[in-house]
Every structure is written in C-alpha cells, then in structure tokens.
Structure 1
Amino acid sequence: MSVATRDIRVASHVENDKAVLIAGPTASGKSALALELAQRTGGVVINADSMQVYRDLRVLTARPALEEEARVPHRLYGHVDAAVNFSAGSWVADAAKVLAEVRARNRLPIFAGGSGLYFKALTRGLSAVPPIPTEIRESVRARLERDGVEALHAELARRDPVTAERLKPRDRSRIARALEVIEATSRSLTDWHRDGLPPLLPPDTFRALFLAPDRDQLYARIDARFDAMLAAGALDEVAALASRKLDSQLPAMKAHGVPALIRHLHGEIGLDEAAEIGRADTRHYAKRQFTWFRHQLPEFEWVKPEAAGEWLSTPTSS
C-alpha cells in the first residue's frame, strides 16, 4: 500500500504557521505523502528537489503528474529552463516568495523533496554569495574544458587555499564554482560563508521527517520506476534536451539517467546498458541521501513510510 492511500489524521494537529518538511531518498514516497497531507489540510506542496525544478525533465525526474498538480496547489515545479544553472540560493529566493504567499493565505506550507542542500538552506541559512555574471561563468567553464580540472584546482589552491583544501581535486562543479566566486567578487567562498543569510524556517517553526524505507525495497522500487520512466517517454524527453546542445556541466544535463541516455542516442551504448547505468546512478544517489541527512540534518526525524501517517497525526512530534 502506498503512502498516499493511508489515513493521515492531521487536520486538527497541524497549524498553518508551522511548515511541514518531508524529505527522503528518491522513490521513497515523498510526493504521495505531501499530496495526501495537502488534500487533508488545504496545504500547498512546495518543491525541494533540485532536479524537479526543470521544466524539460518531467518524466525523468518523477515530477508529480498533471492530475496530481491539479488536485492541490504545487509550487516551484518545472519553473526553470534547463539552460539555467539554478543554484540553492536561487531556490531559496523563490521559496521565500512562495512561503510568504502561502502564509498570507493561511495555508499550510509543505516542502517535499530529496535535495539536502535545499533543506539545509531552508532551516540553517545560506551564504550570501551574489549572482555570478554569465560571462564569468562561461569563461571559467571554458577554461575547465580546455585546461582540465587539475589545472583549475591548482589555481584555486593559489587563490583560495582554504576552499581548495576542502574540495576533492576532481570535483569539477565545486572547483569551478569557487573560482567563479573569486572572479566575480574578489572574495573567497569561505569569506562569504561567514556572512550568511538567515534561515527561512528558524527552529520551532517547522516539523521535519525523513522517509526511511527498507534499502532493498527502495532499490527495487528505483529500478522499477526507471523502467516505467522509459516506457512513459523519458528517452524522447532526453532526446529533446540533447538537441539543444547545452553545456554538459549544467545541472539538468547531469540528472540521473540523462548522460547515459544521451550516450545511447549518440550510438555509443545500447539502451539496456544506458538504463542499467541510470538505475545504478539513482541507487547510489539514494545511498548518499541517507548518509547526508543522517550527518547534516539530525533534526529530521527518521520515519518508516508505513508509519508516516501516525507521525504526522502526533501533535508532540517535531
């Protein structure tokens, strides 16, 4: 039985001035739980998944179906073009506006997703790095492709040794990001992190749970869901994205399954191999989600999916 079909007796226990945060690994049932909660409370589901923001990837990121979005208000889903390097800071800015709107209407804000950094920014705050000009970002990315990640890491070690020491030498995205910040602001990421933005949801203003299904069952569900995505048109979706010839370092181009399916479309590997790579990447990501939330956000209470309704119906949980 899915989470969405279980009785969630929450209407008398959830106050609209306290947000509900529903996190968990991919394919754990977060969207179904959020939908059911929103239906029973008149709440609004707010996306906290870094890939579901992209309009180009409805199928492959398992965004709520159009029918589900019509049943209750869903916000911050599919509102960003794949050509945009959408950051956690951009998401927080959008989330702040939506949160204010939802509260002004006296409705329950329900944040649902699997992106740990989004939830951390929401509850702990975020560094106040200003937007990076497009020309600087493109210049750094071009150097990354031309000179390689090792050269850029060596440059970062000279210009910002503290950040360079913290990053893995082959972490292309974070090394490029650190150099972009220096180029644009003449300050290091370490400096910016000291001058952070306050959290949108301070302590005692939210209830947070992490759906923690059995690992083997979750991995089987991930595999089955990826196959269902292919049957539902994920390959066509990726073909349309690939035809745009976007920068391979953009977040949308690195969504689970996208790189392998593009390799298949280019004739490099068969569809079966691409699908297995996509399934394996997604399973590995789910494993990292468990680890990340356990260490980074211990205030989230871990709950089995079958016990989520009881957790939400208990007014003393937090």
Structure 2
Amino acid sequence: MKVLCLLGPTATGKSEKALDVAERFGGEIINADSMQVYRYLAIGTQVPPEEYQKRVPHHLYQYLNPDEQPDAMRWAQEASKIAREVYQKGKVPILVGGTFFWLRALLEGLDEIPSVPKEVRMALQKEMKEKGLDALFRRLCEVDEETVQRLHPTDTQRILRALEVYEATGTPISSYQKGNKKPVLEANFLKICLILDRQNLYERINERAKEMVSSGIVEEVQRCLDMGYSRDIRPLRSSSYVPVLRYLDKTISLDEMCHEIAKAHRHYAKRQITWLRKEKNLIFVQAYDKGQLFSEVERFLSSG
C-alpha cells in the first residue's frame, strides 16, 4: 500500500497541489490539519474551497463543532481507515496538512497516555484565564523540563495538555512518550515537502491575510459568536482569529488586524520550517514546480 504525504509550511499551496496530484494520478485527499477539522470556520483555517471538494473527494474536513477538542490518535485511526478504503478502490490516498504531530502519530504511533478527568482540564483553563499562559508555562518548566524544550511559550494547547497530564497522574508527559510505539498505518509513504524562499513565502502569507479579510473572516467570527460559542474556544485562540477578536473589541483597526494575522502566520511558518528541518526522509520540492512534483509522485507510484 502506497500513501502520499504532502507537507510544507503554511501558504505554500498544499491544497492546490494536492488537487493537481489527485486529478493527475487518481487520488483522494485526507486532511492532516488540526484547524481544518472545525465547522463554520473555513476562512481563517483555509479549508479547501468547495470547488476543489467537488472535483476530488476530500475527507476529514470540518467534522467537529468549534467547541470540540481534536485528538491526534483518534484522527490517526480514522485517517488510517479512510486511507485503506481509498487504496481498496484503486486510488491513491493523499494526506495533506501542516499538523506534523498528527502525521507522526499516523506514521509512527503515539504512546498511550492515561485519560485526564474533565475537572483537571477545567481547573487549568480557569487558572489560565486568571493568571495567564505565562504562569502555566513557568509551572510546566518546574515539572517537565524535557517537554518545555520542545514547546513554544505561546503553544496554549500543548502547554495545557502537558500540565493536565502531570496534574492528573503525577508523571510528566515526556515520560509517557518514551515507550514502544507502533505505526497506526502500515504503508509505504512518500513524504513531499513544498518549499519557497523566505521572501516569496512571506509575500504569499501577506496576500493570504488580505484575502482572509476580503473573504469575510470578521463576519465568520461574528457568526460563530452569535451561534453561542465562547471566544475562548481553541480555534478562536489561533493565529488567524485572535486579531479578529481584538478588532471586534475595537482595540485595533482593520489594517492592524490584517497586519497581525500576517505576522502571526509568518511566525507559525518559521516554527513549521524548524520542525521540517528535523524530519527524516523528506523530498523537498519547489512549491511552484508542478513538473518536479509530478515526477516524484510518478516515480514513487511506479516503483516496485
């Protein structure tokens, strides 16, 4: 069984290139982006447009409500099931996204971590509201230095996750991540990473921020709030949406909001690039070079 993984920093055109590959080689696309799983938030999370989804089957997009919590292992199990079904139809499973932790869960597996009581999670979320994320990060530094070295100080979700595991079990999450892991999906993977030089990447990120604004990201957030969802839900704490909330609060202008979205996405791209540099067995392809992309995929699919 052969599976294609299309990776790359934000704004490198992964959705578009995945569509090209799927149409050329007879594939179906499986989402591997933890933000594109949410309903009602397509603009800020850059869900592939409906036009793309009509041309080629797309799986695991927008299946959670905005206040639901995505889970890497649950996603990996579902993605594995869909990939097998796609393969059995004689088509190519194409995993696309920028949540590399999820892809690692699928390709390498995750160690089993005990479940955390809801009360522990709620208490930490309350503490974060009252004292701020910095206070939680400092506390994590005291109990799990190994995990802290892998985290960004603003990575809210992973800081909360690491602390809740420690609070619930008395054991650092890093200790659970040293056991024997098994891949969720046994397959032959081709991992292609789309790349751009920094100037072009940042220009595309800046343009994307403007497109989000013109496409109605402000209205998207307001609709979500009008539906009764809290502004503290995970997706609205992401880089696309925090500036929008500040704009709705009238603390920044529309231009400042657009600038902050672009700036946050540039920082996010930097973190993604750092991760990708450490990843093994990646084939790097220029994002604008469709010919090279097709050649790599064709070589992979035609090999024994």
TM superposition score normalised by structure 2: 0.87
Partner of 2:237: 254
Note the alpha carbon deviations across 1:175-213, whole angstroms, 9 max, x for none. 3212211333444312321235412345x6111110012
Q: Distance in 2 between matches of 1:45 and 1:266?
A: 38
Q: Are the structure 2 counterparts of residues 196 and 272 from structure 1 closer, same or farther at C-alpha, using a change threshold of 3 Å?
A: farther
- Percent identical among aligned pairs is 35
Mapped to 1, the partners of 2:303 and 2:237 lie a distance apart of: 37
**Shift in alpha-carbon separation, 1:151–1:262, aligned structure 2, 3 A:** closer
> Are 1:218 and 2:213 matched, yes or no?
no
Counterparts of 2:181 and 2:39, CA distance in 1:
28
* Distance of 2:204 and 2:148 partners within structure 1: 38
Distance 1:112 1:70 in 2: 17
Taking a change above 3 Å as real, the CA distance of residues 215 and 194 of structure 1, as seen in their structure-2 partners, is same
1:117 aligns with 2:96: no
RMSD: 2.6
- Report if the CA contact (8 A) 1:242-1:262 is conserved: no
- Tell whether 2:56 aligns with 1:72: yes
Q: Is the 8 A contact 1:21 1:111 kept in 2?
A: yes
The correspondence for 2:258, drawn from 254, 275, 282, is 275
SS at match of 1:194: coil
- In 2, the alpha carbon distance for the partners of 1:39 and 1:170 equals 39
1:231 — aligned with what? 214
1:103 is the counterpart of 2:87: yes
Alpha-carbon distance in 2 for matches of 1:133, 1:38: 42
Residue by residue over 1:243-299, the C-alpha shift from the partner in whole angstroms, topping out at 9 and shown as x without a partner, is: 435263x4312232200011001111111100100011112212222221011x121
Tell me the distance in 2 between the aligned counterparts of 1:31 and 1:62: 9
Q: Partners in 2 of 1:60 and 1:150 — Cα distance?
A: 25
Q: Specify every segment of 5 or more residues in structure 1 that has no aligned partner in the other structure, as ranges.
A: 1-16
Show the counterpart of 1:6: none
Distance 1:222 1:158, change over 3 A: closer
**Which range is displaced more, 50-59 or 83-92?**
83-92
Tell me, which stretches of 5 or more residues in structure 2 are unaligned? none
Distance (Å, rounded) in 2 between the aligned partners of 1:117 and 1:97: 18
In structure 1, C-alpha distance between the alignment counterparts of 2:223 and 2:116, rounded to whole Å: 28
Q: CA deviation at 1:227?
A: 1.2
Q: Which runs of 4+ in 1 moved over 6 A?
A: none
One-letter code of the match for 1:230?
V
The one-letter amino acid paired with 2:67 is: A
CA distance in 2, matches of 1:143, 1:87: 23
1:86 counterpart = 2:70: yes
Question: What amino acid is aligned across from residue 280 of structure 2 in structure 1?
Answer: P
* TM-score, with length taken from structure 1: 0.84
How many residue pairs get aligned? The number is 299
Report if the CA contact (8 A) 2:66-2:229 is conserved: no
